[in-house]
Amino acid sequence: SKWVYSFGAGRNEGSAQMRNLLGGKGANLAEMASIGLPVPPGFTITTEVCTAYYENGRQYPAELREQVAEALARVETAVGLKFGDHQKPLLVSVRSGARVSMPGMMDTVLNLGLNDQTVDGLANASGDARFAWDSYRRFIQMFGSVVLDVDHHRFEEIIEHVKLDRGVLEDTELTAQDWHRVVAGYKDMVEEVTGEPFPQDPEAQLWGAIGAVFGSWMNQRANTYRRLHDIPESWGTAVNVQAMVFGNMGSDCATGVCFTRDPSTGENIFYGEYLINAQGEDVVAGIRTPQPMSEARAKPGERSMEAAMPAAYAELVQVRATLEKHYHDMQDIEFTVQQNKLYMLQTRNGKRTAAASLKIAVDMAREGLIDEKEAVQRVNPAALDQLLHPTLDPSAKRSAIAKGLPASPGAACGVIVFSADEAEARAQKGEAVILVRIETSPEDIHGMHAAKGILTTRGGMTSHAAVVARGMGRPCVAGAGSITVDYASQALMAGGRTLRGGETITLDGATGEVFAGTVAMIEPKLSGDFATLMEWADKVRRLKVRANAETPVDADTARKFGAEGIGLCRTEHMFFDPERIGAVRQMIMAETEQGRRAALARLLPFQRADFLDLFRIMAGLPVTIRLLDPPLHEFLPHAEHELAEVAETLGADVEAMKRRAAELSEANPMLGHRGCRLGVTFPEIYEMQARAIFEAAVAIGKETHKAPVPEIMIPLVAMTRELEITRAMVDKVAQQVFAESGYHVTYQVGTMIELPRAALIADRIAEAADFFSFGTNDLTQTVFGLSRDDAGKFLPTYVEKGILPKDPFVSIDIDGVGALVRIAAEKGRGVKPDLKLGICGEHGGDPASIHFCESVGLDYVSCSPYRVPVARLAAAQAAL
């Protein structure tokens, strides 16, 4: 079989399509050569050799040596030099190259083929002894560190010693004679460290380097990298052997690394760095300061390649255009100029920031390099998140004191406060605050709103803090378990430090990191390109995108980001306003229905006003309102003064209030008296909410002659009867309101599917439902038997150990939770083919989960307002 593929000098056996076999580097070298770009000739030893090598107890396939020798002979003929020849030696580079680039693997050995004899040949042929000896010492250094595993400090020590001895500061001041001394020192040192002389036989050098590349596929760093990036071991790496060209042979030589567009802004300019008279590693090593490519980008004192080497630069500009036209994407290239002649050493699709990826995709579509659909595919939806929030300045110094879950993206910086009230008070004075809590509860909402960011030490990705922060667009780090919070002393302890209230911290909600002090940030700028890409995405997507929102601010934000309605209005979030909480508590503490009704009558006007706002903002769009869901004890008064207040309104005493509070408290509230169970046992609550909804809808209908179509949603249904009973209540209130007002509006009543039983009997539930909305937060919790509020403590370990591929509260567990969604969708539609299906769990804003929703044929996804653009783009990609 064929193990070796040639490229360059008119024989290109590979192509860009053969990345799996030849690795990214090898495939693209062959591709560049075949489209006529100047590539020094060479060959690629395939990834299959790597696989075979490991399958056969580290033995190469039998034909390999012969094929390598043939390919090498071809290179010799092409360049008119001979490997190991004392007069005209061929030197080669040896580089690793997997399918995807993998830092952590052996990378490059240059100048291979030099020894005590060929170095003289190189000196004669180039007429430059200094260059030859410098090349030789570079080779020993690279080969020594990457192949023989000699610590690179040992090499630097020797150079430093020679420089000290000669009284010079810079490498450039060393002469041929000095490099000669360095080489002698290197060889002695290598022999001392490895117990063997530095290999002089070029053949042995070549096979040593090839062996090191294949060996590096299994080194610890590469293994770790593969595990972190899901790269299978079976892929293997290729080895590229290529004739050397020299950028360090004089002032008409250079080497450089550049991008065909600016990788941080996306701007359509030639971007990069080069160095005259240098070899590849000098550009990255930081010993000399690389210079800019284009004159337009040159600062005073800099010498651009455009100015210094106009001919080679002009050729490179041509190459740039050719590459973009050929690859239809921004390229990251490496080149060398040897005696004014340009050579291409690498090309690959360039890494870029979120902002650049957006601009490049839109620009390239406008330039006709790609079409709109391709542009939509090009931008990673998760990257959009970065564009909508401030981010930490990548160049800012920082060191994290703790790491929690990346619960809501964006960076935030402010002074530490430990209570919602203090957050609000200090924010009102114009201070930026970070609210730090062990966990948050609905009572903290005002403080969360006032804060720039939220940090909790307990709770997972669907904990209260995480869900609410995402909804508000506040950066949040949740479940940072290594931080200890002590409310009493107003301090937090992390990483051996104590920070007190009033001291500054910075959060990165995209990584979960927490920093002491201030870290510089970059504000987001939404470009016109953003709107353009969204438009293109909207053209191709099938899934509708709604938002989870309950306040006018959130609803406005959602509209601004293109939400097509509200998919989940959590009415309990409307109950915590200080003006209302008193009435809510009065209702809960009331021991009789009559007492509850009195309190509910106080709440009715508030609720009605809320719904009026939402209907107005969402004019003409669907609004799904979920009736009260959480266990009542979440609203209980805790502080003495709160208890006293409620006691007074109810005409009871504080002791009685405490007793009632104890009665209402539950051992396992997530599985307790919540959801429709509240509606079944206290019908008056749902009746009040239904009345508020219908009265608001009627008012809008009368005012605008275009009544909204409310979608009323019953939570936590497990039995059909629960839905039938609550639905009957809603229908009854509707008829009453329509009769009283003489105005009729259409409405729907549906249910959340968020318990396994509901999913399994979805055909029966569908009989009583106009729509289903999958509550995948509770469904995940109940399918896994995994508490939403406690999972943050141990789930990261599960992900680290590979027990779970991802946090299932972030990205839907397709095998388990997804299977139930599929069953419920099929059963539901089996009974009612037009049954409207949506999802409103946190997964509704997660790109991978959105792909799943598309595959199940849901009608819409609903997510927090700030994730609406992400969802629009992900939905488009899922449809393509």
Q: Least separation, in Å, of the C-beta of 755 and ligand PEP?
A: 9
Q: Letter for the amino acid at 684?
A: E
> Considering beta carbons, is residue 118 or 777 the nearer one to ligand PEP?
777
Annotated catalytic residue within 464, 569, 853, 863: 464
**Is residue 44 within 8 Å of residue 64, measured between CB atoms?**
no
**Is residue 94 within 8 Å of residue 213, measured between CB atoms?**
yes
- Using CA atoms, how far residue 643 sits from 47, 661, 665, 673, 876, in Å, is 72, 9, 15, 22, 52
> Considering beta carbons, is residue 216 or 864 the nearer one to ligand PEP?
864
Residue nearest to Mg ion (CB): 778
Sites for ligand PEP among residues 741-760 (CB under 6 A): 754
Q: Residues 823-862 vs Mg ion: string with x where CB under 5 A?
A: ----------------------------------------
State yes or no: residue 841 binds ligand PEP (CB under 6 A).
yes
Sites for ligand PEP among residues 445-504 (CB under 6 A): 467
568 binds, among Mg ion, ligand PEP, none (CB under 5 to 8 A by kind): ligand PEP
776 binds, among Mg ion, ligand PEP, none (CB under 5 to 8 A by kind): ligand PEP
* Nearest Cα residue to 88 out of 118, 63, 61: 118
> Considering beta carbons, is residue 370 or 840 the nearer one to ligand PEP?
840
Query: How would you list the strands of the sheet with 291-292, edge to edge?
Result: 291-292, 271-276, 254-259, 331-338, 341-349
Task: Say whether 840 is catalytic.
Answer: yes
State yes or no: residue 113 binds Mg ion (CB under 5 A).
no
**Cα–Cα dist 574/554, whole Å:** 12
Q: Least separation, in Å, of the C-beta of 626 and ligand PEP?
A: 7
Sites for ligand PEP among residues 772-791 (CB under 6 A): 775-778
**Cα–Cα dist 614/105, whole Å:** 56
Sites for Mg ion among residues 699-758 (CB under 5 A): 754
> Considering beta carbons, is residue 72 or 566 the nearer one to Mg ion?
566
Q: Left (φ > 0), alpha (ψ -120 to 50) or beta: where does 262 sit?
A: beta
Q: Least separation, in Å, of the C-beta of 514 and Mg ion?
A: 29
> Considering beta carbons, is residue 426 or 570 the nearer one to Mg ion?
570
* Nearest Cα residue to 780 out of 687, 734, 846, 833: 846
> Considering beta carbons, is residue 720 or 776 the nearer one to ligand PEP?
776
Q: Least separation, in Å, of the C-beta of 630 and ligand PEP?
A: 8
**Is residue 569 within 8 Å of residue 624, measured between CB atoms?**
yes
Q: Letter for the amino acid at 750?
A: G
Q: Least separation, in Å, of the C-beta of 568 and ligand PEP?
A: 6
> Considering beta carbons, is residue 262 or 754 the nearer one to ligand PEP?
754
**Is residue 677 within 8 Å of residue 794, measured between CB atoms?**
no
DSSP string covering 716-741, please?
A: S--SHHHHHHHHHHHHHHHHHHHHHH
User: Binding Mg ion by CB under 5 A: which of 631, 775, 792, 796?
Assistant: 775
**What is the distance in angstroms between the CA of the first residue and the CA of the last residue of the chain?**
39
Q: What helix, strand, coil percent values describe the chain, rounded to 5? A: 50, 15, 35
Q: Letter for the amino acid at 661?
A: A
Binding span for ligand PEP by CB under 6 A among 84-92, 127-135, 202-210, 771-779: 771-779
Q: Left (φ > 0), alpha (ψ -120 to 50) or beta: where does 329 sit?
A: beta
Neighbour-count burial for 123-152, b at 16+ CB within 10 Å, e otherwise: beebebbbbbbbbbbbbbbbbbbbbbebee
User: What number of chain residues touch ligand PEP (CB under 6 A)?
Assistant: 11
> Considering beta carbons, is residue 46 or 777 the nearer one to ligand PEP?
777
> Considering beta carbons, is residue 260 or 776 the nearer one to Mg ion?
776
Sites for Mg ion among residues 567-596 (CB under 5 A): none
111 binds, among Mg ion, ligand PEP, none (CB under 5 to 8 A by kind): none
Task: Say whether 464 is catalytic.
Answer: yes
Q: Least separation, in Å, of the C-beta of 456 and ligand PEP?
A: 16
840 binds, among ligand PEP, Mg ion, none (CB under 5 to 8 A by kind): ligand PEP
User: What number of chain residues touch Mg ion (CB under 5 A)?
Assistant: 3
Sites for ligand PEP among residues 621-640 (CB under 6 A): 629
> Considering beta carbons, is residue 19 or 570 the nearer one to ligand PEP?
570
Q: In sequence order, what are the residues at sequence separation of 6 or more whose Cβ sits closer than 8 angstroms to the Cβ of residue 435? A: 417, 418, 420, 423, 444, 447, 448, 450, 451, 453, 454, 455
User: Binding Mg ion by CB under 5 A: which of 262, 634, 711, 778?
Assistant: 778
Q: Least separation, in Å, of the C-beta of 717 and ligand PEP?
A: 12
DSSP assigned state of 293: S
Binding span for Mg ion by CB under 5 A among 74-82, 231-239, 532-540, 775-783: 775-783
HEC string of 488-516 equals: CCCEEEECCEEEECCCEEEEECCCCEEEE
Q: Least separation, in Å, of the C-beta of 466 and ligand PEP?
A: 10
**Is residue 465 within 8 Å of residue 437, measured between CB atoms?**
yes
Q: Residues 702-741 vs ligand PEP: string with x where CB under 6 A?
A: ----------------------------------------
* Nearest Cα residue to 664 out of 644, 641, 637: 637
> Considering beta carbons, is residue 444 or 629 the nearer one to ligand PEP?
629
State yes or no: residue 865 binds ligand PEP (CB under 6 A).
no
Q: Least separation, in Å, of the C-beta of 774 and ligand PEP?
A: 7
Q: Least separation, in Å, of the C-beta of 861 and ligand PEP?
A: 12
Q: Least separation, in Å, of the C-beta of 771 and ligand PEP?
A: 14
Q: Coil, strand or helix: which one is 783?
A: helix
Q: 476-478 and 405-408 as β-strands: parallel, antiparallel, unpaired?
A: antiparallel
DSSP string covering 391-420, please?
A: EE-TTS---EEEE-EEEE-SEEEEEEE-SH
859 binds, among Mg ion, ligand PEP, none (CB under 5 to 8 A by kind): none
**Is residue 257 within 8 Å of residue 285, measured between CB atoms?**
no
Q: Residues 551-570 vs ligand PEP: string with x where CB under 6 A?
A: -----------------x-x
Q: Least separation, in Å, of the C-beta of 854 and Mg ion?
A: 22
**Is residue 533 within 8 Å of residue 357, measured between CB atoms?**
no
**Is residue 112 within 8 Å of residue 158, measured between CB atoms?**
no
> Considering beta carbons, is residue 474 or 570 the nearer one to ligand PEP?
570
**Is residue 236 within 8 Å of residue 327, measured between CB atoms?**
no
DSSP assigned state of 768: T
- Using CA atoms, how far residue 101 sits from 172, 331, 527, in Å, is 32, 14, 31
701 binds, among Mg ion, ligand PEP, none (CB under 5 to 8 A by kind): none
Burial (CB count <10 Å: 0-12, 13-18, 19+), residue 834: exposed
> Considering beta carbons, is residue 416 or 568 the nearer one to ligand PEP?
568
User: Binding ligand PEP by CB under 6 A: which of 140, 840, 863, 876?
Assistant: 840
Q: Least separation, in Å, of the C-beta of 716 and Mg ion?
A: 7
**Cα–Cα dist 328/67, whole Å:** 34
Annotated catalytic residue within 253, 476, 840, 863: 840
Residues forming a β-bridge with 342:
337
583 binds, among ligand PEP, Mg ion, none (CB under 5 to 8 A by kind): none
841 binds, among ligand PEP, Mg ion, none (CB under 5 to 8 A by kind): ligand PEP
570 binds, among Mg ion, ligand PEP, none (CB under 5 to 8 A by kind): ligand PEP
Interface residues with ligand PEP (CB under 6 A) are: 467, 568, 570, 629, 754, 775-778, 840-841
Residues that bind Mg ion (CB under 5 A): 754, 775, 778
Residues annotated as catalytic are: 464, 840
